Amino acid sequence: MSEAVLATTGLTRSFEQGGETIHVLRGVNLSIAPGEIVALLGPSGSGKSTLLQAVGLLEGGFGGSIRITGVEAAQMSSSERTATRRDMLGFIYQFHHLLPDFNAIENVVLPQLVKGTSRADADARASELLTTLGLGHRLTHRPSQLSGGEQQRVAVARALANRPALILADEPTGNLDEATAEIVFGEFLRLVRQEGSAAVVATHNERLAARMDRVLRLHDGHLS
């Protein structure tokens, strides 16, 4: 069996709030295989975003083990953590977080330039991804000149730009109307499968969850 792209063991996270300790993650064990697309379901406040932030190496304060392609996060230096986030992980959020002063293709080119890809190769990759997502005619539009669904497509292309082993998506179609969410999510799934990335996708939508390879449910700080 090939090595998991993501594995956690006994992952915990608590918050101190007004003299009280809230235990959000109480020992989460999960393992995501290369190319596997997994839904993360759970009631509001169950800790889905907290879990994605932990495995995205976005902040500290966690207990237990997180391994990204076999490498223990706690043993990474801060530059190794940055490189892992840049080269191995792709992020998609509910609100796109595109750079407002850059157009669609530039938003997809930039993370590639940060990684060291040549401008020509980055342009070609960005153009190909955006065209696959049906945005070939919107390459030079800025985020404010794009519809919500188009903005999320750009965010999908940006997340995949550096060919990450793992996509972490937090309600990626959560701010779209149902019909648009359905379409953008379908394109997301098709492209992620085509690219061979694994993905963990937090969602409240059972129907979208059923289209993924596996469903994980977060409840009382544990996964089932």
Ligand X SMILES: Nc1ncnc2c1ncn2[C@@H]1O[C@H](COP(=O)(O)OP(=O)(O)OP(=O)(O)O)[C@@H](O)[C@H]1O
**Residue that is written with structure tokens 């669904």 in the block:** 149
What is the DSSP annotation of 164-197?
-SEEEEESTTTTS-HHHHHHHHHHHHHHHHHHT-
Instruction: Note whether 155 and 135 are within 8 A (CB).
Output: no
Instruction: Please name which of 223, 224, 219 lies closest in space to residue 43, comparing C-alpha atoms.
Output: 219
Instruction: Note whether 22 and 15 are within 8 A (CB).
Output: yes
Instruction: Note whether 49 and 55 are within 8 A (CB).
Output: no
Residue 203 contacts ligand X per CB under 6 A: no
Distance, CA of 124 to CA of 108 (rounded, Å) = 10
Task: Please pick, from the candidates 5, 6, 24, 133, the single residue that binds ligand X as defined by CB under 6 A.
Answer: 24
Task: Please pick, from the candidates 39, 48, 129, 173, the single residue that binds ligand X as defined by CB under 6 A.
Answer: 48
Task: Please pick, from the candidates 44, 75, 77, 79, the single residue that binds ligand X as defined by CB under 6 A.
Answer: 44
Task: Please pick, from the candidates 4, 32, 36, 47, the single residue that binds ligand X as defined by CB under 6 A.
Answer: 47
The listed partner (Mg ion, ligand X, none) that binds 90, CB under 5 to 8 Å by sort, is none
Task: Please pick, from the candidates 12, 14, 31, 49, the single residue that binds Mg ion as defined by CB under 5 A.
Answer: 49
The window from 44-52, 119-127, 132-140, 141-149 that contacts ligand X (CB under 6 A) reads 44-52
* Torsion angle (degrees, nearest 10) of CA 139, 140, 145, 151: 40
Q: Which is nearer to ligand X, 15 or 95 (CB)?
A: 15
Q: Which is nearer to ligand X, 126 or 208 (CB)?
A: 208
What's the N-to-C CA distance of the chain in angstroms? 22
The window from 48-56, 70-78, 146-154, 188-196 that contacts Mg ion (CB under 5 A) reads 48-56
The window from 46-54, 66-74, 85-93, 180-188 that contacts Mg ion (CB under 5 A) reads 46-54
**What are the residues binding ligand X (CB under 6 A)?**
15, 17, 22, 24, 42, 44-50
